[in-house]
Amino acid sequence: MAEFELTDAEYDAATRRGKQAGTGQPRPSSVHFDSETGRIVVEFINGAAFMVPARSLQGLEMASDAELGDVEILGDDGLHWEALDADFTIAGLMAGVFGTRSFVDVARKGGKARSAAKIAASRANGAKGGRPRKAAG
């Protein structure tokens, strides 16, 4: 492998460029699990914050509050749960990526499921006249 020699001026210039490149997007300053709301809260150095429902994330659905609370920032753009072997990028979470495509598809279809109980409730509601009409506005 080749060796590189940098002058102090070259090193300082590269360090400045690296710091400037990192200012294009907010960096996380802290992360915690809020057990009251069930959300992961990421706070950024610019004062902004982002929240995501913890148990909506693939691999965290059945996690205990203690396990969810053991979250840490991974690098400048990730979240990591060691005990759960789960990692997510903050940008991905902000874009609504809560897991693999198949996980998201299953979660989305869950509300569309037709069970005997849902069918019976729908029929009972229909017998009462169905959904109320909107008031004239």
**pTM of the full structure:** 0.60
* 11-26 mean pLDDT: 72
43, exposed or middle or buried, with CB in 10 Å at 0-12, 13-18, 19+? Answer: middle
Q: Which residue has the higher pLDDT, 37 or 127?
A: 37
CATH topology of domain 25-100: NE0471 N-terminal domain-like (3.30.2020)
pLDDT digits (tens, 9 = 90+) for 54-110: 999 989 999 999 999 999 999 888 999 999 999 999 988 988 877 767 665 655 555
pLDDT score of 39 more than 60: yes
Domain ranges of the chain: 25-100
Q: What would the two tokens of residue 89 be? A: 């990028």
